[in-house]
Amino acid sequence: MEPLQRQGLICFSPDDLELFSKASHDRNPLHLSDDYARKTPFANRVVFGILGGLFGLGHLQDRPGLRLSKIVLEFPAPLFVNLPYSLEVVETSPEKAVVRIYDGRRLMSKVKAHFRIGNPERLKAMTPQATRTEAVTLSPSDLIESCQIAETYCPDIDALQVLTDRLELFQKGIGEVEVAALLWASYFVGMELPGCQALFSKLSLSFEDSRPNLTKPFSYTASLSQFDDRYNLLRTKAALTIDEMPLATGEIQSFIRPAPPTSTTASIETLTPSSEALKGKVALVTGASRGLGAAIAQALVLQGCTVLVNFYRSQAEAEHLQNTLADAPGKVVLIQGDASDLAWCNSTREQILQKFGRLDLLVCNACPPILPLWLEPNAIHRVNDYVSKSLALMSVPMAVFLGALAKNTGWNIIISSVVSTQTPPADWPHYVSAKHAIEGIARVAAIEYSDVGFLLVRPPKLLTTQTNTPMGREGAISPEVIAVKLVQHLIDNQPSENLEILENFINKDN
């Protein structure tokens, strides 16, 4: 048989994720909660890895008289809802097929499927069964190699059949038994081990040639066989049985994401003591509820400054920040809105001047989340949109507030990045372009507004939600280090006519 190769397009909707979740009992918030996902390195809801694999399998040729015997799924990169992906299907024989999902040239998911003679089977009606309704939260310290879980499981058969029929999997030689086992794997990783902080990496399942009587939920035993604490990588051996008769065996690889990093007033005060050095000063910090913005706001308030903490959606984090600084020398005022919106900025300017009569510091920190992109046709609109949004988050506040800063010989602080001067990652054309554009507009604005001090800050890789992956954390430094050095510069220096650059940060953390 000559290898058959086909191309196609797929896209995942929120309804697809809800159906899969209902079928599998996998309620991991990374896939279902916009608010939760926004505070992860991915910034958007991630498609269940197994769902991506099932979508790919749905594009196989029909395989009458054959049924799935083994499947290997790999998830090199996350898939997101409402984005088009290209599909490549290669079928070297009726017994073997490979499906790959790409975002442009980037491989996102890969499925290898093997088939043997036999007929796929339907499942009888059974009561759905799963141990957990909420994902367990584990940390790396909770994991030991002897960890073992033994439970029973049954998917939601009605939802499973809707999903299977919609993708026409039965005709492809993939019965409801095999789909149920794949749904179990998603549930196990997303809800049990490692649970809420999971990143599914790889699954290998081999199905027994003979099937036991499929009238009951199946039992599973899963044992953690290896935990690599360098990368928080878990390897788990699994066995599925029905009435103690083997159904499938396999191995799961997954990562556990570290807990989200947060800056604290205590960590900032270990770097510099609090004081009233900035008492009477008023600052507006955009994107200040989390990450570097929150650390800058904390450092300013601890020096006596009144800080208007701008946030767009992270109200809970902003309120927490305000509460932690209740006894600080300065004051936090929360102000919600989109800093790239001209009407919001104009309204906010009037509020600030009416209430405080001045503005001394503008910290342009807000930035869209960074996801890998290539400079290629299918991604160019996303690249351009990112640059446009990033620039607006800096240029609009500057256009509105620089006049107020000039009246008090204030500071305009622009948060850029070392990528503007160093060799950038190949998949960051959008981020690098945005930072160059931001630095360019800051240089021109510094000439126009000579009464304002312009400080261009180029932080290195920071430990924030953006880098909070097992490998992304490597070499990242604490945002508190940047915040403290920035605020100390403002205390020690008066605004000058020339644009200043703050870089070459020393990692004082630890």
Q: Quick: pLDDT tens for 131-144.
A: 999 999 988 888 87
pLDDT, position 157? 96
Using alpha carbons only, what angle is made at residue 13 by residues 108 and 24, rounded to the nearest 5 degrees? 80
Q: Predicted confidence band at 3 (pLDDT cuts at 50, 70, 90)?
A: low
Alpha-carbon distances, residue 452 vs 31, 304, 307, 407 (angstroms): 45, 21, 19, 9
pLDDT, position 79? 97
Using alpha carbons only, what angle is made at residue 254 by residues 249 and 257, rounded to the nearest 5 degrees? 155
Tell me which amino acid residue 466 is: Q
Q: Is 386 a catalytic residue?
A: no
Q: What pairing do the DSSP bridges indicate for beta strands 96-103 and 106-117?
A: antiparallel
In tens, the pLDDT along 14-61 reads 999 999 999 999 999 999 999 999 989 999 999 999 999 999 999 999
Give me the domains of the chain, ranges plus CATH numbers.
4-136+154-206 (3.10.129.10), 267-502 (3.40.50.720)
Q: Which of 231-245, 424-438, 444-458, 465-479 has the lowest mean pLDDT?
A: 465-479
pLDDT, position 336? 97
Tell me which amino acid residue 23 is: A
| Local structure of 83: helix, strand or coil | coil
pLDDT, position 506? 63
Residue of 275, 286, 237, 68 whose CA lies nearest to 169: 68
Q: In the predicted model, what is the mean pLDDT of residues 462-467?
A: 87
Q: In the predicted model, what is the mean pLDDT of residues 10-16?
A: 97
pLDDT, position 306? 98
In tens, the pLDDT along 399-455 reads 999 999 999 999 999 999 999 888 888 899 999 999 999 999 999 999 999 999 999
Residue of 256, 258, 218 whose CA lies nearest to 238: 218
Q: What pairing do the DSSP bridges indicate for beta strands 411-415 and 361-364?
A: parallel
CB neighbours of 192 closer than 8 A, spacing ≥ 6? 131, 132, 136, 149, 151, 222
- Whether the Cβ atoms of residue 335 and residue 285 lie closer than 8 Å to each other: no
Query: What letter would DSSP give residue 105?
Result: T
Query: What letter would DSSP give residue 378?
Result: T
Asked whether residue 345 carries a pLDDT value surpassing 80, the answer given is yes
As given in the structure block, the two tokens for residue 468 are 């909070």
Residue of 129, 66, 59 whose CA lies nearest to 101: 59
Q: Tabulate helix, strand, coil % of the chain (nearest 5).
A: 35, 25, 40
Asked whether residue 510 carries a pLDDT value surpassing 60, the answer given is no
Q: Quote the percentage of the chain above a pLDDT of 90.
A: 82
**HSE (CB half, 13 Å, CA atoms) of 222?**
23
Which residue in 85, 153, 220, 431 is the catalytic one?
431
468 or 312, greater pLDDT: 312
Q: In the predicted model, what is the mean pLDDT of residues 264-278?
A: 94
**How far is residue 365's CA from residue 286's CA, in Å, rounded to a whole number?**
5
CB neighbours of 9 closer than 8 A, spacing ≥ 6? 84, 85, 86, 87
**How far is residue 389's CA from residue 391's CA, in Å, rounded to a whole number?**
6
Q: Predicted confidence band at 509 (pLDDT cuts at 50, 70, 90)?
A: very low
The neighbour count for residue 101, using CB atoms within 10 Å, is: 25
CA 151 to chain centre: 30
Q: Say which residue the tokens 């991915």 belong to.
A: 42
Asked whether residue 6 carries a pLDDT value surpassing 90, the answer given is no
pTM of the full predicted structure? 0.91
**How far is residue 126's CA from residue 213's CA, in Å, rounded to a whole number?**
13
CB neighbours of 272 closer than 8 A, spacing ≥ 6? 299, 302, 484, 487, 488
Beta bridge partners of 50: none
Counts of helices then strands in the chain (DSSP H, E)? 13, 17
Q: In the predicted model, what is the mean pLDDT of residues 84-99?
A: 95
Asked whether residue 145 carries a pLDDT value surpassing 70, the answer given is no
- Whether the Cβ atoms of residue 365 and residue 391 lie closer than 8 Å to each other: no
Q: Predicted confidence band at 508 (pLDDT cuts at 50, 70, 90)?
A: very low
